[in-house]
Amino acid sequence: MNDKSSDQLNDSLTKLTELDIARIEANQAALELVLVLDQTRHQIVTAESITGGLIFSTLVDIPFGGSNKYGSFIVYDSEAKRNQLGILINNVYSLKCAEEMAISSLKKSSATIAISATGNAIPRAREENHLGEVFIGLAGYVDDKIIVVSTAHNFCSNSEICSNWCAKSEIKLGSYIEDSSYEINKNVSQLIRNKTVAMALGLCKKFVLEQKLLVDINKKIDLNESL
């Protein structure tokens, strides 16, 4: 690479925004997970609220490993969570909800691993400090039972985009925004969702590599068995 090309590359890299980086990290995490799924013969299903299908579509963007991708339950609304996954918990912004979403999607599919994500990418009135709050669940089969792990994270706690959003809107983080621009709102929302995708896929890769998860679909426990 000549000096001019190198300078152009460095210039383009310095122009990457926080959102650009989040998208790159999400795509990289998807590639790494699909490679692991292909090697281990696992098949994955997702149950997505906050991400609205973005976790699975990012996996689908990887142009191989089709047999490792089962599908996605897109359950953005609370009623959809109840109707499609049987989620009865009132607080849909919680680790418990993420865990139930992961378990239910695993039971309702022939997949061997499930990822779930719920949280808040849009601020609500009187919900201080919840913007960027995300709950991720992972589920799989070990021996005669389902195991599930979950994690919580706030992606706006240290974000330049979120900080700029608040500064331009002249309001506190987490408050309802009516006067900020569509573009600012969109960037914050997409940042949170892409960071959620990257984290969920990265955690799933670790989950697969560290747990002795059942792969043979014929050896799965009775789908109607209670936990």
Percent of the chain surpassing pLDDT 90: 63
- Confidence check: pLDDT of 45 > 70: yes
Q: In the sheet where 113-119 sits, what is the strand order?
A: 69-74, 44-48, 113-119, 133-142, 145-154
Phi and psi torsions of 71, nearest 5°: 160, -170
Mean pLDDT over 97-122 rounds to 96
Helix axes 182-210, 18-40, angle to 10 degrees: 30
- Confidence check: pLDDT of 152 > 60: yes
Whole-number average pLDDT of the chain: 84
Adjacent-strand bridge partners of 147: 140
Residue 57, C-beta contacts closer than 8 angstroms, at least 6 positions apart: none
Residue 117 tokens read as 């994500």
- Domains in the chain, please, with CATH? 15-219 (3.90.950.20)
- Confidence check: pLDDT of 187 > 50: yes
Q: Give the pLDDT band of residue 15 (cuts 50, 70, 90).
A: confident
Mean pLDDT over 163-190 rounds to 63
Q: Give the rounded distance of the alpha carbon of 161 from its chain centre.
A: 19
For residue 104, give Cα distances in angstroms to 4, 98, 127: 54, 10, 28
Residue 227: predicted pLDDT: 38
When comparing pLDDT for 34 and 189, which is higher? Answer: 34
Residue 225: predicted pLDDT: 45
Q: Give the pLDDT band of residue 4 (cuts 50, 70, 90).
A: low
Q: What is the pLDDT of residues 56-82, one digit of tens each?
A: 999 999 999 999 999 999 999 999 999
Of the candidate ranges 56-65, 139-148, 160-169, 191-200, the one whose mean pLDDT is the lowest: 160-169
Whether residue 137 contacts residue 116, with contact meaning beta carbons closer than 8 Å, is answered with: yes
Q: What is the pLDDT of residues 188-204, one digit of tens each?
A: 889 999 999 999 999 99
When comparing pLDDT for 139 and 178, which is higher? Answer: 139
Residue 60: predicted pLDDT: 98
Please tell me whether residue 77 adopts helix, strand or coil conformation.
Answer: coil
Q: Residue 85 and residue 87: Cα distance in Å, rounded?
A: 6
